[in-house]
Amino acid sequence: MTNRAATDGAAADAGPMVRAVAPGRVNLIGDHTDYMGGVALPMTIPLATTITGRRVPHVVSLTSDHEPETLHLTLPVTDAARTRPSWGRYVAGVTQLGDPPGGFEGIITSTIPIGAGLSSSASLTVAAALALGIERDPIELARLCQRAENTATGVPSGIMDQLTITASQPGTATLIDFESTTVEPVSIPEGFQFWVIDSGQRRTLDGSRYASRRTECERAAEILGPLRHADPVTIEALIDHVLRSRARHVHSECVRVSEFAHALDNGDITTAGRLMDEGHASLRDDFEVSTDAIEGTVDSLRAIPGVHGVRLTGAGFGGCVVALAEPGVELPGWSVAPAGPATVEVL
């Protein structure tokens, strides 16, 4: 049976219209900590991937407003990593691992810029899981989507993006502890305005740099134990300067996340901004994931009165930065408030 014939046959058994919406996320602080059992404080943003269509038996057929080629899959999917077009690997991954009750025919639209560090791929994966009718609690859904992404792309990314998207609560940022896999809602105080600004540099994590950073952290942890709990004096005694720098970043970033959460609780914008600036310096100098485009964007934003802190957000190597400003300040990007978690509804 060809894909087209399968699609036509499936249409006859189509269920009601379904719409799944999964937001992107911006990480306020705590980058490159998730895969080391650290902590982070991200929030969902009002940019999202939407999948609308009908559940059908046997096939997945999806068009995307960002991509020229339609995705056609015949169930069961057995080798998501080889799917063509390549954007369909995220959908194929979650279809392969998630054991959905059937397939789906529909369209994908997204307001999240792709490759900009705002979790467009995790958003697509979660939206696809929900559209397909996969039912899990938020943590299990995030675990499934992380595995799907790892399988589909070969990138050993952590669970922060998926967990933010599935487990956040409306109107709050999310403090995540990756050691215990627990989430806690955190309110954004009055007088704090977060902005997301695009450096204009696109990136993919498919190259080896994300993976090599993770490997370096794991080598450091083999010597020191969990980096989050390591003694700073012991970290500084590491002979290998690359491992020492990576360990210093993970440890200090986890400390900053806790202090940042307290600064939010106390409505202390000066401290919160300073911690963001320090986090950026650590990602630039110790973790070496900044770029000239990011540095240019950060410098220009810091020169604007009323901006308290600016840092790269997500993996780095390009993409967006996040800024904390006083109300009334206008920056060249998206002013963002926490959105809710991903949802699915029958129309």
What the block records as the tokens of 134 is 């996969």
For residues 66 and 209, which CB has a smaller minimum distance to ligand GLA in the complex?
A: 209
Q: Please, which residue, 115 or 133, has the CB nearer to ligand GLA?
A: 115
Q: Which class for 139: exposed (0-12), middle (13-18), buried (19 or more C-beta within 10 A)?
A: middle
The residue whose two tokens read 């922060």 is 160
Do 97 and 144 contact (CB within 8 A), yes or no? yes
Binding part of the chain for ligand GLA, among 26-34, 129-137, 222-230, 301-309 by CB under 6 A, reads: 26-34
Judged by CB under 6 A, the residue of 130, 315, 336, 344 near ligand GLA is 315
Residue nearest to ligand GLA according to CB distances in the complex: 158
Least distance in angstroms from the C-beta of 315 to ligand GLA: 3
Are residues 270 and 307 in contact, defined by beta-carbon separation less than 8 angstroms? no
Q: Scanning residues 32 to 71, which ones bind ligand GLA (CB under 6 A)?
A: 32, 34-35
* Using rule CB under 6 A, residue 125 touches ligand GLA: no
161 flagged as catalytic = yes
Picking from 73, 94, 64, 69, the residue whose alpha carbon sits closest to that of residue 6 is 73
Among 108, 118, 160, 331, binds ligand GLA (CB under 6 A): 160
Q: Taking CB under 6 A as the rule, does residue 158 contact ligand GLA?
A: yes
Going by C-beta distance under 8 Å and a sequence separation of 6 or more, which residues neighbour residue 17?
52, 53, 54, 346, 347
Shortest Cβ distance from residue 152 to ligand GLA (Å)? 13
* Candidate segments 27-35, 69-77, 179-187, 236-244, binder of ligand GLA by CB under 6 A: 27-35
Q: Which of 245, 256, 259, 250 is nearest to 228 (CA)?
A: 250
Alpha-carbon torsion (36, 42, 44, 47), positive or negative: negative
DSSP bridge pairs for 49: 22, 110
Nearest approach, Cβ of residue 160 and ligand GLA (Å): 4
Which of 34, 161, 268, 286 is the catalytic position? 161
Q: How far is the CB of 27 from ligand GLA (least distance, A)?
A: 6
Give yes or no for a contact between 196 and 322, defined as CB atoms under 8 angstroms apart.
Answer: yes
Which residues form the catalytic set?
Answer: 161
Positions in the binding site for ligand GLA (CB under 6 A): 27, 31-32, 34-35, 157-158, 160-161, 314-315
